[in-house]
Amino acid sequence: MLVCLLLFCLLLLKAPLAKSTAAEALAFCGVSLAPSLFPAAVLGRFLTLSGVFAGENRLVKKIAGLFGLSPAALPALAAGLVCGFPMGAFCAYALAEDGVLSPREAAHVSAFANNAGLAFLLGSVGPMFGGVRRGVTLFAAQTLASLAVGMLTAKRARPKKGVKAQNTAPPPPAFQESRSSLALLSDCVGQSAQAMLTVTGFVVFFSVTSALFFSLPGLAPARLPLSLFLEPTAACRLVAASSLLPRTALSLAGFALGFSGLSVLMQSVALSHSSLPFWPTLAVRLAIAALTACLAFAMG
């Protein structure tokens, strides 16, 4: 409550700073974030609802089993690893709402497969650190770390002992047959647009509040280390503009992206309608962040 009151006072006292920061954040969302994230969100949602893994393929079952998941969860897993924040949570909880995934599976996918998108890393983050190759390095480090942690924490997705497992079998072929592909695509565009508004709101909010907070006397030196835990894009910008050695800077960027920041965690909670367990997810993201940082340093 005191923090909120402080930020409200800063908002009144430093209105020009808040206005300019909000404008910069909105411009970033319009120029960089939305172009790379929105199309991927639509396609990821469409593939998730189309039942692409509805068959009884043994290899698909084996891959899903490594993470304690049913085959129906793989589209959400793929979307979370490739499409960008917070598509893993968005697709996983969409499947949970449809009764295709259990709440435990949705929470598990949202925790470990909710990464920065490939297009965003190649087009926006990579150039901050010297080129597309750096974006590839960060994507590889983050993906390997997420998959490793996802396998190590696979038991989070499995039913508790003594509790009957929910039927998470993929929907039958008739799951979407009653709807045309055009109608399904229209729904996906609308739902993805709502998700983008949520993402934009969190990016603007965290950008403004962090700018106001760090404008206080004596807090400027803490901006870089604290930004690693707040909003990953702002953290990458600060790290890239610092005088750190290239490999160290890349490692810190990997940590910020691997953790995803409180901004993305809160986005995921919002998209899950507050059903995502925050503290266990936080622990998983911290593990991914540490491993991503180590891999990025080694690969950089």
**pLDDT at residue 109 in the model:** 96
Q: Give pLDDT tens digits for 160-188.
A: 665 555 544 444 444 444 457 788 889 88
For the chain, domain boundaries: 17-154+193-299
Higher pLDDT, 269 or 32: 269
pLDDT above 70 (res 54): no
The string of DSSP codes covering 222-250 is GHHHHHTTT-HHHHHHHHHHS---HHHHH
Cβ neighbour number for residue 130 with a 10 Å cutoff? 14
**pLDDT at residue 56 in the model:** 61
The pTM score is 0.87
* Distance in angstroms (rounded) separating the CA atoms of residues 278 and 284: 10
Single-letter amino acid code for the residue at 67: F
Q: Give pLDDT tens digits for 211-252.
A: 998 898 888 889 899 999 998 988 998 999 999 999 999 999
Q: What percent of the chain has pLDDT over 90?
A: 53
3-state secondary structure of 115: coil
Which stretches within the chain are classed as H helix?
2-13, 15-28, 34-49, 58-66, 74-82, 87-97, 103-112, 118-120, 126-128, 132-152, 181-214, 223-227, 232-241, 246-259, 261-271, 278-299
Most confident of 151-160, 173-182, 199-208, 244-253: 244-253
Closest C-alpha among 203, 202, 195, 258 to residue 229: 258
Stretch 274-295: mean pLDDT, rounded?
96
State the pLDDT confidence band at 199, using cuts at 50, 70 and 90.
Answer: confident
State the pLDDT confidence band at 65, using cuts at 50, 70 and 90.
Answer: very high
**pLDDT at residue 174 in the model:** 41
State the pLDDT confidence band at 92, using cuts at 50, 70 and 90.
Answer: very high
Closest C-alpha among 2, 27, 62, 52 to residue 181: 52
